[in-house]
A and B are shown apart, each in its own frame.
Chain A
Amino acid sequence: MSDGTTGPPPTGVLAVGAFTAGAFPLVARDDASAAFFDAAARGELLVRRCLDSGDVLGPEARTCPGCGSARLEPFVVSGRGVLVTWAVVHQVPVSVLRGAVPYVTAVVELAEGPWLLVRLVGTDGSDLRAGQPVSARFVQPHQPDEGSGADSGEAPGEVLPVFAPGEPAAVSGQGES
C-alpha cells in the first residue's frame, strides 16, 4: 500500500472493456513522450521537476515558470490530488472525441503542486465539489472496430493517465461503467 508520497503507484491499468468503445482515442508515442507512456503502462504518473527551484511541473513543461530554468528532470508523482474545477462536455469538440461525449474533463491539483488538465472517470459530474480528493487511474484505449484484438491489424494506443474521485485505495482495481 502506498503511503501517498513516494511509494509505488496507487492503481494498476484498468482493463480493456471497462469503458465504452471510443471513449478514449488512440494516442501514439513519440520520442519525447516515450518515458511518460512507459510510466503510464506501469501505473505511474511521470511529470517533471525543476532541478533549480525544486518545483514540480506538468509533464509538458520545458522551462520552470517559477525561475525560468530549463534544467528539468523526470519525476514520478504520488497520483494524489484535489479537484480544482470540472466541465461536463456534451458538444463534440473534435471528431476524435465523438465517441466520448458526454465526458467529464477537469483541472486537478496534484499533491506536489502542478495543475493537470485530465479526463475524470467514475463520475457523471453531478456529484463533484471543488477541493475533493482525486487520484490517478490508467486506461488502455480501444476502438469500436477492435473486436477480438488479435485480428485487428491496428496497434493499440498507449495507456493514458486519467483521474477519478476518491483516494487511491477506495476504488483501487475497480473498472468504470
Chain B
Amino acid sequence: MTVDRTVAIAGLGITELGKVYGRSARSLAAEAVRLAVADAGLRLGDVDGLLVSNGLAGKVGVELAGALGLGQLGLLADINAFGATAGVMVAQAAQAVAAGAATTVACVFADAPLAPKRSAGEAWGGAGRKPRTLTGLAGWQLASGGVNPNILYALAARRHMQRYGTTSEQLAAIAVAQRAWAAGNPLAAMREPLTVADHQASRPIAEPLRLLDCCLVSNGGVAVVVTSAERARALRHPPVHVHGYAQAHEPRRMHAGSPWGLVTPAARSGPAAMRMAGIGVGDVDICELYDCYTYTVLVTLEDYGFCEKGDGGAFVGDGRLAPDGKLACNTGGGQLSSYYMWGMTPLSEAVIQARGAGGARQAPRNDIVLVSGNGGILEHHSTLVLSPHPRTSSGGLG
C-alpha cells in the first residue's frame, strides 16, 4: 500500500476587491489568509507554511508571517514568477505537503496599486510615475517607446495577426464572452453586457489592443490553503484536488527565429501538467486562463492544444467561450471583467467552480478544471489541473 501524497485546496479567502482605499497590501494579505483559513474550517495556528506573492504597490513580504502571529512555520517564502506565481505557489505547496515539510500551506497575493484620483493606467506604472532619467542605452530604449506591458503585448498580438490572420474582432469575442460570464459573478467589477461593436469603439491603447482588450486594475487580496487530500476530506468544504501542475519559463529571445508572440511557454507547461494529471484537452470541462489581455487567452488556448496553432481566432470567434458556448472559459469574467489579482483570479474562480459554488455562473460540468498563469511578456507560465474528485492511482478520476 502506498501513502497518499496527493494534495487539495481546502480554503479560499477573497477580500473586498477593486477601489479599496486606505489599506496596505500587507493588511489585505493578512485578511485574505484569515478568510481562507476560516473558509477551510481551520484556525490560524494550524498554518505551518506560508507563501507570499507581491504585486506592484507595497510589499507583502515574509513579514506577513509575523503580522499574522505565525510562529511555528516549516515553510516560508516570498515567490515571484510574475503572473505565473499563483500556480507556482500551489505547486510549491503541494511538493512541501507531499514531502512532509508542512501540512497546511497558505498561499497569498495582495496588492493596492489604485489610489483615489489616480487612473488605472497610472497605477500600473504609467504616466503618473515620475519621469525616469533618460541615460545611456536604457534611455534610448525608453525613447524607442516599447516601454510597458500594454505595448509589448500589442507587439505580440500584432505578430500573431500578421502571421495567422487573427483579427481584432476575434479578440473582441473573448472580451464579450467573459463579460457575459461576469454578469453572473457578484464579485465582478464590470457586469453590464458588452458587444463586439463596444469593443471596437473602445479607445485604442496600443494598437492592435484597445481598452477592452486590457485587464482591470484592482486592490485586494486572495489566498488559498493547500493541505493533504486526506486531511481536506475532513474539513468544511469538498476538497479541490490538485491532479497536475507544471511550469515553463522562457525569457524572450530577441533574435532571428524567435517564436516570441506566436508560441509561449504554455506550450510546454500545459501538456506537462495534463500528463501529470493523466488527462488530455478533451477531458477539460472548464478553463480558467490568465487574461492580462484578450490575446493571452487566445494564444494559451492554442498552446494548450485546444486548437491548432494559428486557429485561435476562428476557435474563439464563434462564441465558443461564452456561457452558452462549447468551452466554459473564464467563468467569473476573468481579469478583463471581474478583478485583477494576477494568477489568483483564475485560481480563485477555479476553486469556486470545482466546488460547484458558482451559483448563476456555475458551469454544467466541473470534473476537470484547467488553470493557467502567465507572466512577463509571455515568458513565464504555470498550469494547474484541479478536480472535485480524488486522483486515483490508475490515473483516471475516482
Contacts and interface: CB of A to CB of B under 8 A. Distances in A.
Interface string B204-228: 1111110000000000000000000
Interface string A56-67: 011110000100
Contacts of A90: 203-207
B148 to A, nearest CB: 5
Contacts of A25: 134, 139, 142-143
Contact of B207 (A87, A96, A107, A119): A87
Interface string A133-149: 00000000100000000
A114 B134 CA distance: 23
A107 B155 contact: yes
A160 B145 CA distance: 12
A96 B148 CA distance: 13
Nearest to A109: B256
Interface residues of A, number: 54
Nearest to A98: B127
A70 interface: no
A173 interface: no
Interface string A88-129: 111111111110100101110100011111110000010001
A30 interface: yes
A95 B155 contact: no
Contact of A105 (B130, B145, B162): B145
Contacts, number: 157
A115 B255 contact: yes
Nearest to B149: A93
Given A91-B121, A92-B126, A130-B159, A105 B134 contact: no
A103 B207 CA distance: 10
Interface in B125-148: 126-148
30 contacts: A25-B134, A27-B135, A27-B139, A27-B140, A27-B142, A27-B143, A29-B135, A30-B135, A33-B140, A60-B137, A85-B158, A86-B155, A86-B158, A87-B208, A87-B209, A88-B204, A90-B205, A91-B126, A93-B127, A94-B127, A94-B142, A97-B142, A98-B127, A103-B145, A105-B155, A107-B159, A115-B256, A119-B144, A119-B145, A141-B143
The 9 closest A-B pairs by CB, nearest first: A130-B162, A87-B154, A27-B139, A105-B145, A33-B136, A85-B159, A115-B254, A88-B207, A30-B136
Interface of B: 121, 126-148, 150-151, 154-156, 158-159, 162-163, 203-209, 253-256, 258, 261
